[in-house]
């Protein structure tokens, strides 16, 4: 749902009041710390003229911003007071006129001799090394810390990642600073023969990391000074490549632009806009090196931060709290980098089977009866639908855990009817809890107040003046989890919902801070504020000073969505705000997009980025959320959406209906075909989610993940793959019946006809009438499919049909993960079947098809327990074979158009 919606909306307010220092562990940065003395270096010191000369020797691309503050006209005086170089750049913006985001060559930048830390001692530890760094003088940021410790852990993880990653943690030995409360694996052994070489430079301190096999310099922090002040922590590194991905959540191309591009992270409710911090924060990037190797870098930090990219190429991390705790993943291929990252932050949950069906939603159904009408109409037209949703219009006065008893009088019946048709129901919940209802009339609030106690407050309501006022539950407190669960349980007794949509959890607020304002201190107004939309940390959210159980909101803000998802738990949760490890608890939709062709295109980058971030259950609002959609756009979007791992059509209030039944027969049929195609591919999608859950694989993946040496694939975000076998080439433009698509070297088979194209790594034009989305099968793959039906419940009971695309040597393979679709942790408890299919051409014309077919142990879902292979097609058989053997038995078959079927 959307932000800024007028008067009725959930309001502002929450805990608040200045944090009480006694009540919590020393969160850092905190008020009351003595700011360090400022360096008073005169611009006229002896080095000045020398510096002007050496400054001009620094090439523009190598200038690291010494004055990142926004809204300040950076003069020579201000700059030189920081002991930095001032040279107005010939082109681009000055720091003064810097728009947030693309900010141009800095006019004020660090000279090479800028004071920084030196390495004063280095000792071996059980897991690596520990260094002490010191510097002589404090810089201009208050609370500068002169002595810091660097702990390097050269980690071995026997699970899958031998010698492939290591971590570095930089802390203040004299005080305990805030650390992100997510659990990362504990490692016990030191790597003996790592894939990397680490070199430390002493003066100034710097860290260089090279890939042992190629010598590529993956990290070099000597390029700019290290800062470690209470509320300003910064380091820069050169990058071996311009090919950088990840760094969500932003609306951008999949490949980031390194030309003076600053990406800010701080969870924020705003319709996706370029150059703006959005709903989630993900300080992780993946980089493609020369020759097709890949590495990854993760900064485990939840404070507001900027990530500045520049064309050196280089990257600067600039955060305003916590510690510097980072992980480097050596890959060496991009898929392994994601696996190694996911191994640290947590593996995505295995979704319940119906999560992968078609979801239908809108804001503005107005009544349960009209919601129901759409469901019935979908059934009448034979269009697949697994899940019906409601936005906030189902609520009574927009209050969680209530439903409007007049307009939504039949909601419980609607949900029973959905269940009777093997369909599911999901509704929205916002975190804001109305704080202004008469006492005794709204249990969620009254009970929250009752259970809250100083130090473990669920919330502290502030005012109760305006009907829109709310309090925000503190999900960092276990007490809140119990309260949230009890509310869910009580509501479930009335409306038997199956999953949750947790929205507005940045958390979003229609005021800045609170009705009673926020305190004035260095948390609300830090010495440096990253480029957050609105210019203030509290813009459209809570006061930074708001006290939560685990720390102040200043540190916890971007974790709100993660902690709410954790409290909401399985089987199905979709969250708007996300943080690393979110995939363990929820999926994500890409927010309040517009019904525009451009948004159709950028949704692919969003989907691919979230797959990289370990949250594979992701998709954009099909047909677009805000603004009126058009029929052609909605058809194309439904086709692309059929390949989002999570596919939901969602519409804004007062827009015309945009569910498939609202369109002409031609459009409706095209949408139905796209959805039937998705349903027929369910076994493929479900198996990919199994590999995500168990191995940390991506589900929807960029082409370059499968072809990492093919540089032409590095920038592609108009096409993508499902796993390693299926290539999707959607139409993203209006009025066209052709689409250009890139095909990496090899054989590709048209999924529908079996026709083969041989590509040398080139762009090909494909036929793409309105009722077709191009889909190709990569040589060497076998995929299991099923006859689709109106719900996955029905179609997953159908026997399998294998589709095989032979490689040039006549072989192919594929797999299937199968269980009852609903029981949690079937893999962990060994209640599943895993089947490998393989085809080999033996002699010239005999094909062997082998598969091992294990029965599923569980049988809630009877049909699914007896999955069988009924038929198969092989594409790319150039001569009629004499025999086809299936599990050693002769099978009758037909041969036509280079295809064998049995």
Ligand X SMILES: *[C@@H]1O[C@H](CO)[C@@H](O)[C@H](O)[C@H]1NC(C)=O
CA proximity to 399, closest of 529, 308, 487: 487
Nearest residue relative to ligand X (C-beta): 606
Q: Please report whether residue 153 would count as binding ligand X according to CB under 6 A.
A: no
Stretch of 436-444, 599-607, 641-649, 772-780 lying at the interface with ligand X (CB under 6 A): 599-607
CB-nearer residue toward ligand X: 531 or 814: 531
Helix, strand or coil, per DSSP, at residue 363: coil
Nearest distance from residue 197's CB to ligand X, in Å? Answer: 10
Closer Cβ to ligand X, 177 or 211, answer by number: 211
Task: Closer to ligand X by CB, 130 or 397: give it.
Answer: 130
- 89, with CB counted inside 10 A (0-12, 13-18, 19+), is middle
The minimum distance between CB 284 and ligand X, in angstroms, equals 15
Q: Site residues for ligand X, window 604-663 (CB under 6 A)?
A: 605-606, 620
Among 476, 582, 603, 630, binds ligand X (CB under 6 A): 603
Of the candidate residues 25, 158, 656, 896, the single one contacting ligand X (CB under 6 A): 158
Does residue 130 bind ligand X (CB under 6 A)? Answer: yes
Closest CA to 145 of 300, 25, 36: 36
Query: Residue 271 Cβ, how far from ligand X at the closest point, in Å?
Result: 8
Q: Is there binding between residue 272 and ligand X (CB under 6 A)?
A: yes
Applying CB under 6 A, the span of 86-94, 271-279, 495-503, 739-747 interacting with ligand X comes to 271-279
Comparing CB distances to ligand X, the nearer of 64 and 178 is 64
Q: Report d(CA 351, CA 285) in Å as an integer.
A: 25
Bridge partner list, 502: 429, 575
Q: Whole-angstrom Cα distance, residue 698 to residue 706?
A: 11
**Which residue's CB is nearer to ligand X, number 591 or number 821?**
591
Q: Hey, is 872 helix, strand or coil?
A: strand
Instruction: Return d(Cα 514, Cα 518) in angstroms, integer.
Output: 7
Per-residue x/- mask for ligand X, residues 74 to 113, rule CB under 6 A?
--xx------------------------------------
Residue count, binding to ligand X (CB under 6 A): 43
Strand-strand pairing, 128-134 and 147-155: antiparallel
Footprint on residues 202-231 left by ligand X (CB under 6 A):
208, 217, 220, 222-223
Contacting range for ligand X; rule: CB under 6 A; set: 523-531, 541-549, 751-759, 788-796 = 788-796
Q: Contact between 891 and ligand X (CB under 6 A)?
A: no
Backbone angles phi, psi at 661, to 5 degrees: -75, -10
Q: Quick one: 363 exposed, middle or buried, by C-beta within 10 A (0-12, 13-18, 19+)?
A: buried
Helix 631-641 × helix 597-612 angle, to 10°: 10
Report, in Å, the least distance between residue 788 CB and ligand X. Answer: 6
- Grouping H, G, I as helix, E, B as strand and the rest as coil, residue 200 is strand
What is the distance between the alpha carbons of residues 612 and 583, in angstroms, rounded to a whole number? 11
**Site pattern 695..734 for ligand X (x: CB under 6 A):** ----------------------------------------
Q: Which is nearer to ligand X, 399 or 604 (CB)?
A: 604
CA distance 21 to 14: 19
Q: Per CB under 6 A, does 146 bind ligand X? A: no
The answer to whether residue 789 forms part of the interface with ligand X (CB under 6 A) is yes
Residue 760's contacts (CB-CB under 8 Å, 6 or more residues apart) are 745
Is 405 near ligand X (CB under 6 A)?
no
Judged by CB under 6 A, does residue 58 bind ligand X?
A: no
94 vs 132, which CB is nearer to ligand X? 132
Q: Which of 94, 410, 525, 838 binds ligand X (CB under 6 A)?
A: 410
Q: Which is nearer to ligand X, 157 or 820 (CB)?
A: 157
Lookup result for tokens 């407190």: 477
Stretch that binds ligand X, among 19-27, 176-184, 785-793, 815-823 (CB under 6 A): 785-793
Judge contact between 627 and 655, C-beta under 8 A: yes
Q: Which is nearer to ligand X, 27 or 614 (CB)?
A: 614
Out of 148, 345, 562, 790, the only residue in the binding site for ligand X (CB under 6 A) is: 790
Contact letters for ligand X, residues 534-573 (x by CB under 6 A): ----------------------------------------
Two tokens at 703? 């082409």
* Residues facing residue 263 across a β-bridge: 307
Instruction: State the greatest distance between any 2 C-alpha atoms of the chain, in Å, as a whole number.
Output: 92
Q: Between the CA atoms of 556, 557, 559 and 564, what dihedral angle is there, to the nearest 10 degrees?
A: 110
312 binds ligand X (CB under 6 A): no
Considering only residues 338 through 397, tell me which ones interact with ligand X, judged by CB under 6 A.
367, 369, 382
* Vertex 56 angle, CA 52 and 62, to 5°: 125
List, by residue number, the catalytic residues.
503, 506
Shortest distance, CB of residue 198 to ligand X, whole angstroms?
A: 11
Distance between CA atoms of 613 and 645, rounded to whole angstroms?
14
Q: Least distance (Å) from ligand X to the CB of residue 849?
A: 26
Query: Of 18, 33, 75, 132, which one interacts with ligand X (CB under 6 A)?
Result: 132
- Structure tokens given for 13: 């307010």
The verdict on 188 binding ligand X (CB under 6 A) reads: yes
Contact (Cβ atoms closer than 8 angstroms) between residue 820 and residue 864: yes
- What lies within 8 Å, CB to CB, of 550 at 6+ separation is 181, 476, 477, 556
- Closest-CA residue to 430 (of 463, 462, 395): 395
| Residue of 721, 730, 768, 771 whose CA lies nearest to 748 | 721
- Min dist CB 332 to ligand X, Å, is 19
- Give the separation between CA 266 and CA 277, rounded to whole angstroms: 6
Nearer to ligand X, 112 or 838 (CB): 112
Residue that has been written with the tokens 């001032």 in this structure: 86
Secondary structure of residue 629 in the 3-state scheme:
coil
E strand or H helix at 561, and its extent? helix 560-568
Q: Does 451 bind ligand X (CB under 6 A)?
A: no
Among residues 119, 226, 278, 612, the one that binds ligand X under rule CB under 6 A: 278
In the complex, the residues that contact ligand X under the rule CB under 6 A are 43-44, 76-77, 121, 123, 130, 132, 156, 158, 188-189, 208, 217, 220, 222-223, 249, 251, 272, 278-279, 367, 369, 382, 406-407, 409-410, 590-591, 593, 599-600, 602-603, 605-606, 620, 788-790, 794
């Amino acid at each position: 749902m959307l932000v800024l919606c007028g008067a009725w909306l959930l309001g502002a307010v929450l805990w608040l009041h200045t944090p009480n220092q006694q009540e919590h562990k020393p969160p850092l940065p905190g008020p009351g710390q003595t700011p360090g003395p400022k360096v008073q270096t005169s611009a006229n010191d002896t080095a000045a003229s020398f510096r002007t000369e050496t400054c001009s020797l620094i090439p523009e691309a190598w200038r690291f911003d010494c004055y990142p503050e926004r809204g300040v006209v950076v003069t020579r005086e201000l700059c030189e007071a920081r002991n930095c170089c001032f040279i107005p750049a010939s082109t681009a913006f000055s720091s003064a006129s810097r728009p947030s985001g693309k900010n141009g060559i800095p006019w004020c930048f660090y000279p090479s001799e800028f004071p920084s830390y030196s390495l004063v001692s280095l000792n071996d530890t059980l897991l690596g090394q520990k260094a002490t760094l010191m510097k002589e003088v404090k810089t201009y940021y208050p609370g500068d810390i002169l002595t810091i410790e660097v702990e390097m852990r050269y980690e071995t993880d026997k699970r899958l990642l031998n010698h492939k990653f290591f971590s570095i943690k930089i802390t203040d030995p004299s005080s305990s600073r805030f650390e992100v409360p997510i659990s990362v694996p504990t490692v016990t052994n030191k790597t003996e023969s790592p894939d990397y070489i680490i070199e430390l430079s002493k003066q100034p301190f710097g860290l260089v990391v090279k890939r042992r096999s190629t010598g590529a310099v993956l990290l070099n922090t000597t390029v700019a000074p290290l800062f470690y002040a209470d509320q300003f922590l910064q380091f820069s590194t050169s990058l071996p490549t311009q090919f950088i991905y990840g760094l969500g959540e932003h609306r951008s191309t999949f490949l980031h632009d390194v030309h003076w591009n600053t990406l800010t992270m701080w969870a924020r409710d705003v319709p996706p806009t370029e150059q703006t911090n959005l709903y989630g924060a993900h300080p992780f990037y993946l980089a493609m090196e020369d020759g097709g190797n890949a590495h990854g870098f993760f900064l485990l930090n939840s404070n507001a931060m900027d990530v500045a990219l520049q064309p050196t190429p280089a990257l600067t991390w600039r955060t305003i709290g916590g510690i510097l705790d980072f992980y480097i993943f050596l890959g060496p291929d991009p898929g392994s980098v994601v696996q190694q990252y996911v191994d640290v932050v947590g593996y995505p949950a295995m979704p319940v089977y119906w999560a992968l069906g078609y979801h239908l939603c809108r804001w503005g159904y107005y009544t349960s009866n009209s919601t129901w009408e759409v469901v019935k109409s979908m059934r009448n037209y034979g269009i697949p639908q697994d899940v019906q949703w409601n936005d906030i219009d189902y609520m009574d006065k927009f209050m969680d855990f209530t439903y409007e008893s007049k307009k939504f009088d039949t909601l419980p019946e609607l949900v029973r009817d959905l269940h009777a048709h093997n369909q599911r129901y999901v509704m929205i919940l916002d975190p804001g809890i109305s704080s202004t209802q008469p006492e005794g009339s709204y249990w969620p609030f009254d009970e929250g107040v009752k259970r809250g106690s100083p130090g473990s407050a669920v919330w502290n309501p502030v005012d109760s003046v305006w009907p829109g006022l709310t309090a925000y539950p503190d999900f960092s407190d276990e007490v809140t989890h119990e309260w949230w669960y009890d509310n869910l349980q009580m509501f479930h007794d009335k409306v038997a919902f199956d999953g949750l949509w947790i929205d507005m959890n940045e958390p979003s607020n229609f005021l800045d801070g609170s009705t009673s304002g926020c305190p004035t201190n260095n948390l609300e107004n830090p010495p440096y504020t990253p480029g957050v939309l609105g210019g203030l940390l509290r813009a459209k959210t809570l006061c930074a000073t708001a006290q939560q159980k685990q720390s102040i909101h200043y540190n916890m803000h971007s974790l709100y969505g993660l902690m709410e998802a954790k409290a909401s738990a399985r089987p199905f949760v979709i969250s708007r705000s996300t943080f690393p490890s979110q995939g363990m608890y929820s999926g994500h939709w890409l927010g309040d997009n517009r019904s525009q062709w451009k948004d159709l295109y950028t949704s692919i980058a969003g989907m691919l980025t979230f797959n990289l971030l370990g949250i594979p259950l992701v998709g954009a609002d099909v047909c677009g959320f805000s603004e009126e959609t058009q029929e052609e756009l909605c058809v194309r979007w439904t086709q692309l959406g059929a390949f989002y791992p999570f596919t939901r059509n969602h519409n804004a209030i007062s827009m015309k209906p945009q569910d498939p039944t609202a369109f002409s027969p031609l459009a409706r049929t095209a949408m139905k075909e796209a959805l039937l195609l998705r349903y027929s591919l369910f076994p493929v999608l479900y198996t990919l989610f199994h590999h995500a859950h168990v191995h940390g694989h991506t589900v929807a993946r960029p082409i370059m993940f499968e072809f990492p040496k093919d540089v032409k694939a590095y920038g592609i975000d108009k096409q993508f793959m499902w796993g390693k076998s299926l290539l999707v080439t959607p139409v993203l433009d209006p009025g066209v019946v052709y689409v250009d698509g890139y095909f990496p070297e090899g054989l590709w088979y048209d999924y529908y006809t079996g026709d083969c194209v041989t590509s040398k790594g080139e762009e090909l034009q494909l036929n793409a009438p309105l009722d077709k989305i191009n889909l190709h099968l990569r040589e060497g793959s076998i995929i299991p499919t099923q006859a689709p039906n109106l719900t996955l419940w029905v179609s997953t009971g159908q026997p399998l049909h294998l589709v095989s695309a032979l490689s040039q040597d006549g072989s192919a393979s594929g797999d299937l993960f199968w269980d009852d679709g609903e029981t949690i942790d079937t893999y962990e408890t060994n209640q599943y079947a895993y089947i490998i299919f393989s085809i080999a051409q033996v002699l010239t014309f005999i094909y062997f098809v082998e598969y091992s077919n294990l029965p599923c142990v569980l049988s809630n879902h009877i049909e699914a327990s007896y999955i069988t292979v009924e038929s198969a097609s092989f594409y790319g058989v150039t001569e009629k074979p004499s025999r086809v053997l299936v599990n050693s038995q002769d099978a009758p078959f037909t041969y036509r158009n280079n295809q064998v079927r049995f």
